[in-house]
Chains A and B, each alone.
Chain A
Amino acid sequence: MSLAVSQVATRGAVAVRSVDKSYGNQQVLHEVDLDVAEGEVLVIIGPSGSGKSTLLRTINHLDKVDRGTISLDGELIGYKVRNGKLHERRESEILAQRTEVGMVFQNFNLFGHLTALQNIIEAPIYARKIAKAKALARAKELLARVGLADKADAYPRQLSGGQQQRVAIARALALDPKVVLFDEPTSALDPELVTEVLEVIKDLAKSGTTLIIVTHEISFARDVADRIIFMDSGRVVEQGTPNELLTNPQHERTKSFLSKVIEPAFNI
């Protein structure tokens, strides 16, 4: 099963600039700056409540930032620059921008009343206005790539957690997004099922699509990431290649976090 697709090389660069975000009184993101290059695989690690998921959600505008900007290939997410002011985009434009950013959720969030195939073709047809026959052909191709060609007519509840998450990945890919965001994609899975999902993501990483992955699977991060960032209390504490960050962390906070999550022998 190979996810190698002919990707246009010049797409999928994300730039996050001094982003602040609060929920009520609680500030969850502090002055976050981050650049993700085209085709880069970035893994975000950090304790619960460190703002990792919120950061992902701001990238496809599920959450609005309070301050700062996020852009994808130079285009601001959610805003338009006109006469030196940032104008909020219309909903239809925001929806169009979201189709450029795929998202995979911790709880899969497959549409329970639709079959695997219907789940995948929904967005291409109704968000991208792609002809149904074309969307169906593409959906079947994607299902085959995630190893679930025989499950096209199964409803999500008839699938295991790992299979559901693979369908969810296929659904995110159906829009040919420039960036795919993974929000703890294996946290809700039985240990046995984690590998099958991670394998799919690994294949995808080789295909040249930009990936931003929030995960607690440190050994997977080491395998797949071009770069790892460590977040705590809404700030990017430290970043580097997997080798730098995981084996030689500079900050005390990173060291103490890693000492808790890395088991003596880590192998996938």
Chain B
Amino acid sequence: MPPATNITTSPDVHEPATELLEEHIAAGPSHNAAPNYADYAVVAARHPWRWVGTAIVAVLAAAVLYSLLTNPRWEWGVVAQWFTAESILRGLGQTLKLTLISGSLGFVLGFILALLRLSSSPLFSSVSWTFSWIFRSTPLLVQLLLWYNLGYLYESIRLGVPFTSITFAEFQTTSLISQFAAAVLGLTLNQAAYSAEIIRGGILSVDQGQIEAATALGIPRWRRSTKIVLPQAMRAILPTAFNEIIGLVKGTSIVYVLAYSELFYTVQVIYNRTQQVLPMLLVATIWYIVITSVLSVAQYYIERHYSRGALRTLPPTPLQQLRAFFTTHATAKINSPKGQP
């Protein structure tokens, strides 16, 4: 039905309803036999404004899509040509590697920092606090450059007994800290500082009674933290943690300052040579979108996994909803409920 018809008829729709209600109230005591509604067909409520909204959104989306596809300056041909080029894929691999390593190390370190911060020892908690304070107050760019130039501050790194001349091993700092090592160090430590706070927030959201019960049962501290508290904290941690990981995927682009050939640096090198700046940026952007999309789907299922026991019954996944929608529509033509969430 076209939206216009709905809008014009909508005032009339209400009146009979009111009349009916009044009639029903008035008729209530005098009529003993209540009408039997069992055979009545159910007419779904109409939402005319949804149609208007849908139309507006559709027009806007079409306009954006049209401009993206028809403006020749986007140079889609160049994008397609480079999208799966070997150098780009290699850069993408480096980006994924950096994200994976710094992300997992960062969160593991963050978990330990969160436990230290929550420990009853004032020393542990202040060490953890200071770590977060330092790494959250300095720009990531500065941290990366500092790690990379560590050789300037300390020519060699010596493993031995402090304040004595006993040395077990000695390394040249410059040979130890490669671009990759500096990138991982910088990203990991920075990530740890932020994830420590996220994890601490999650842990605080778990009911104190859970810890008390685990303590009363004599369950060891580490098991208590990792198997009782953490899984329940995950529900609060995950949404923000995925924000961080998605941020990190794109944040790895900052290591271009170290001339480390991840995706973004690779793209820069190419467009400096070919002068096709925008299409090359588009190549990188689309890859970031792809990674983020995959992560978002992963996030959905991981969050679902950790909501076991938190909800009485889990709602169906979008896939299950879709399947249910098609099966009900294929089998029953009338009175079929729409795939509701």
Q: Which A residues fall within an 8 A CB radius of B?
A: 60, 62, 91-92, 95-99, 101-103, 105, 107, 109-115, 122-123, 126-128, 155-158, 171-172, 175
Please give 17 more A-B residue pairs, beta carbons under 8 A apart, in addition to A95-B219, A102-B216, A105-B209. Answer: A95-B220, A96-B218, A101-B216, A103-B216, A109-B210, A111-B214, A111-B228, A113-B231, A113-B306, A115-B309, A122-B217, A122-B219, A123-B219, A127-B219, A155-B308, A157-B309, A158-B312
Chain A's closest residue to B228 (CB) is A111
Of the residues B212, B220, B310, contact of A105 by C-beta under 8 Å? B212
Nearest-neighbour CB distance to chain B for A70, whole angstroms, equals 15
| Cβ contacts under 8 Å, B309 to chain A | 112-115, 155-157
Q: How far does the alpha carbon of A57 sit from the alpha carbon of B306 in the complex, in Å?
A: 31
Residues of chain A within 8 A of B132, CB atoms compared: none
CA gap between A96 and B215 in the complex, in Å: 11
In contact, A112 and B210 (Cβ under 8 angstroms)? yes
- In the docked arrangement, what's the CA distance between A105 and B232, Å? 19
CA distance A171 to B219 in the complex (A): 13
Does B215 lie within 8 Å of A62, measured CB to CB? yes
* B219→A126 contact, CB < 8 A: yes
Complex Cα distance A247/B214, Å? 39
Partner of B311, one of A107, A111, A128, A157: A157
Lowest 4 A-B CB distances belong to which pairs? A109-B213, A155-B309, A123-B217, A127-B218
User: CB of B46 within 8 A of chain A?
Assistant: no
Cα–Cα distance between A37 and B223 once the two chains are bound (Å): 34
* B209 pairs with A109, CB closer than 8 A: yes
Total A-B Cβ pairs within 8 A: 79
Contact B216 A60 (CB under 8 A): yes
The answer to whether A127 touches B220, judged by C-beta atoms less than 8 angstroms apart, is yes
Set of chain B residues within 8 Å of A155, measured between Cβ atoms: 308-309
- B308 near A113 (CB under 8 angstroms)? yes
Chain A residues whose CB sits within 8 angstroms of the CB of B219 once the complex forms: 95, 122-123, 126-127
* Cβ of B329 to closest chain A Cβ, rounded Å: 31
Give 29 CB contacts A-B under 8 Å.
A92-B220, A95-B220, A98-B215, A98-B216, A101-B216, A103-B213, A105-B212, A109-B209, A111-B210, A113-B231, A113-B232, A113-B310, A114-B309, A115-B309, A122-B214, A122-B217, A122-B228, A126-B219, A126-B220, A126-B223, A127-B219, A127-B220, A128-B218, A155-B308, A155-B309, A156-B309, A157-B312, A172-B217, A175-B217
**B338 lies within 8 A of chain A by Cβ:** no
Contact residues of B between 197 and 250, Cβ < 8 Å to A: 207, 209-210, 212-221, 223, 227-228, 231-232
| B125 shortest CB reach to chain A, Å | 18
Instruction: Report whether A91 and B216 are in contact in the complex, using a CB–CB cutoff of 8 Å.
Output: no
Q: Interface extent on B, as a size class?
A: 20 to 34
Cβ distance B214 to chain A, nearest Cβ, rounded Å: 7
List B261-313 residues whose CB lies under 8 Å from chain A: 306, 308-312
Q: By the criterion CB–CB under 8 Å, are B213 and A111 in contact?
A: yes
Q: How far is the CB of B284 from chain A (nearest CB, A)?
A: 39
> Which residues of B lie under 8 Å from residue A157 when comparing CB positions?
309-312
- B218, A175: Cβ atoms closer than 8 Å: yes
CA distance A158 to B308 in the complex (A): 11
Chain A positions within 8 Å of B221 at CB level: 91
Question: Which residue, of B210, B213, B220, B231, has the highest number of chain A Cβ atoms within 10 A?
Answer: B213
B11 to chain A, nearest CB (A): 46
With A157-B309, A157-B311 in contact, do A109 and B218 touch (Cβ < 8 Å)?
no
Most buried by B among A107, A111, A115, A123: A111
Bitwise, B151-171 to A at CB < 8 A (1) or not (0) is 000000000000000000000
Q: How far is the CA of A96 from the CA of B297 in the complex (A)?
A: 44
Task: Enumerate chain B residues within 8 angstroms of A97, measured Cβ to Cβ.
Answer: 218
* Contact B218 A95, beta carbon cutoff 8 Å: yes
Give the shortest distance, in Å, between B311 (CB) and chain A (any CB).
7
- Chain A contacts for B306, CB-based, 8 A: 113
Shortest distance from the beta carbon of B203 to any chain A beta carbon, whole Å: 14
